[in-house]
Amino acid sequence: MSIIFDENKIFSVCEISGIIKEMLEGVLANICIEGEISNLKTAASGHIYFDLKDEDALISAVLFKGYARGIKLKEGDKVCVRGDISCYIKTGRYQIIVRSVEVKTIGDLYAKFEALKTKLTEEGLFDAENKLPLPKFPSVIGVITSPTGAAIRDILSVLSRRAKHVQVILAPSLVQGDGAKENIVQALKNLNKINPKPDVILLGRGGGSIEDLWCFNEEEVARAIVKSKIPVISCVGHETDFTLTDFAASLRAPTPSAAAELVVQNAQDMLKHLDNLKKLLSVSLDAKYTNLQTRLNAVIKNKVFKEPSVIFQSKEQELDDLSEKLFNDFTNLINKKEHNLELLKNALFNLSPQGVLRRG
């Protein structure tokens, strides 16, 4: 098929992409392609995006929500898809718009993953008793990831916003391809040796295909996590699928950012709690101060402080009353005693001989 264009015409990028789209859709429609699923993602809209690959090449594919009902796909599945070749104008990338999917077998890597998972599970490597508790208030956090990747930037961004007091120690490592497995194992050993040791370790990277993430499915990495004396959070950014590190770690986070939020969650809550207590204490102290100030003002306005002599005047009056009462009581007592004495004198006189003779 050949199309003749005016050589003098200047096309926009959008125009030429539109022409390519029409050419592809007109020629490569309702075709069947067999390959292995890689880099599988499900959007919030429900549309499914993935790459279809073989040993030598790959093609992008999209399975729109209307055609995805009842279809369950996994990384590594070998499938036969039927659909139309098209061009996504925004990126200029050709892709197949999938209408139907037939799953042939699971892919070799996925089968290997399942076999390793079963082996290590039966061995007890993933048992809860092997998982170290996470610290409530970490002050030092170790991070194992690429020093140039988005993961470390996301982690630092979250920590700087939520826990500026936390120290971060980066143990740089390859997180994809040859040497990544050895790098990760060595980084775990290094963080366990340094002093002071991190309170917790975040191990992860952004998302990718099962091939990209395979170093997190290596048996040596899973065993190194379990041997760590420091709790590890696995944060491989592939939310829909798991890796072996997710099962070996103390906790699995769906993304590096989520891991950073989880690890300082308690500290953040405690800071909020302390802030609330501070506000309550401030209100309580203000109320107490106001109450004491009111009482002090009342005392200051009391007449006693203006004329202190008032205190003594009332007491002097009481003293006068008591003195007068005491004098009266004492006088009455003397008079009573004198009267009694006179009676006794008369009685004695009457009993004397002189008194008797006088009576006779």
pLDDT digits (tens, 9 = 90+) for 168-192: 999 999 999 999 999 999 999 999 9
Q: How many CB atoms lie within 10 A of CB 240?
A: 11
Q: What is the pLDDT of residue 151?
A: 94
Task: Please name the amino acid found at residue 74.
Answer: K
Break the chain into its structural domains and give their ranges.
13-106, 112-127+135-263, 304-359
- The model's pLDDT over 330-352, given as tens digits with 9 standing for 90+, comes to 888 888 888 888 888 888 877 77
Residue 150 sits at φ, ψ, to 5 deg, of -70, -25
Dump pLDDT digits (tens) for 122-134: 999 999 999 999 9
Max avg pLDDT among 30-34, 139-143, 291-295: 139-143
CB within 8 A of 206, min separation 6: which ones? 149, 150, 151, 237, 255, 256
More confident residue, 21 or 216: 216
Average pLDDT, the chain: 86
pLDDT for 132 equals 96
Percent of the chain with pLDDT over 70: 91
For residues 157 and 168, what is the distance between their CA atoms, to the nearest angstrom?
A: 12
pLDDT at 238 over 80: no
- Could you tell me if 208 and 39 are in contact, meaning their C-beta atoms sit under 8 angstroms apart? yes
Q: Which two tokens stand for residue 318?
A: 């009481």
Q: pLDDT tens digits for 198-216?
A: 999 999 998 877 788 899 9
Report which of 184, 145, 193, 149 is spatially closest to residue 168, judged by C-alpha positions: 145
Q: What is the DSSP letter of 212?
A: T
- What is the band of 2 on the pLDDT scale with cuts at 50, 70, 90? low
And the tokens for 330? 């004492």
Predicted confidence at residue 355, as pLDDT, reads: 56
Burial 99-118 (b: 16+ CB within 10 A, else e): eebeeeebbebbeebeeebe
The beta strand positions in the chain, using DSSP E, are 31-42, 48-53, 58-63, 78-88, 93-105, 140-145, 167-172, 200-205, 232-236, 251-252
Predicted confidence (pLDDT) at residue 357 exceeds the cutoff of 90: no
Q: Does domain 13-106 have CATH number 2.40.50.140?
A: yes
Rg (CA), the chain: 48
- pLDDT for res 168: 95
pLDDT at 241: 66
3-class DSSP state of 4: coil
Residue 174 has which token pair? 């390859």
- According to the CATH classification, is domain 112-127+135-263 in 3.40.50.261? yes
**Per-residue confidence band for 323, with pLDDT thresholds at 50, 70 and 90:** confident
Q: Kind and range of the H or E element at 186?
A: helix 180-193
Report whether pLDDT(268) > 70. no
Looking at residue 204, its pLDDT comes to: 94
Q: What angle is formed at CA 48 by the lines to CA 45 and CA 54, rounded to 5 degrees?
A: 165
pLDDT, position 358 = 54
How much is the average pLDDT of 297-305?
Answer: 75
